[in-house]
């Protein structure tokens, strides 16, 4: 399964840090993303214009399970999650959110 997590493009509260958060599915190890914006960079401008930053996570899933648990872990203050899209395969691109850049 691939998770697309959209967050607001905010500046970190603490100097020298980014805005981190983590995601886990079914108790698997937490995967962490860290947005470290550089003011006036092209990436920063794109995030501001699109009012969002997209982070993508991939998890192996046991499809025989009837229910799954998604866990979000707070990393830094001020992170605001806008939406989460779970792609079980076959997700089609849409206009909404399709142009938001991916964090690495």
Complete domains list, the chain, with CATH: 2-103 (2.60.120.1620)
| Confidence bin at 93 (pLDDT 50/70/90) | confident
Distances (CA, A) of 12 to 9, 25, 33: 10, 26, 14
What count of other Cβ atoms lies within 10 Å of the Cβ of residue 21? 21
What count of other Cβ atoms lies within 10 Å of the Cβ of residue 79? 20
Please state the pTM of the whole predicted model: 0.81
* Cα–Cα distance for residue pair 104/99, rounded to 1 Å: 16
pLDDT, tens digit (0-9, with 9 covering 90-100), for 45-54: 888 888 889 9
Q: What is the pLDDT of residue 90?
A: 82
DSSP symbol at 49: H
- Give the pLDDT mean for 25-32: 96
């Amino acid at each position: 399964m691939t998770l697309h997590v959209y967050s607001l493009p905010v500046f970190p509260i603490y100097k020298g840090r980014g805005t981190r958060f983590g995601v886990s599915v079914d108790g698997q190890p937490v995967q962490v993303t860290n947005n470290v914006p550089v003011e006036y960079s092209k990436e920063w401008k794109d995030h501001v214009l699109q009012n969002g930053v997209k982070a993508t996570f991939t998890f192996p899933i046991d499809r025989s399970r009837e229910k799954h648990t998604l866990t979000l872990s707070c990393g830094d203050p001020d992170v605001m999650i806008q939406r989460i899209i779970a792609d079980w395969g076959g997700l089609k691109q849409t206009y909404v959110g399709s142009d938001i850049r991916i964090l690495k």
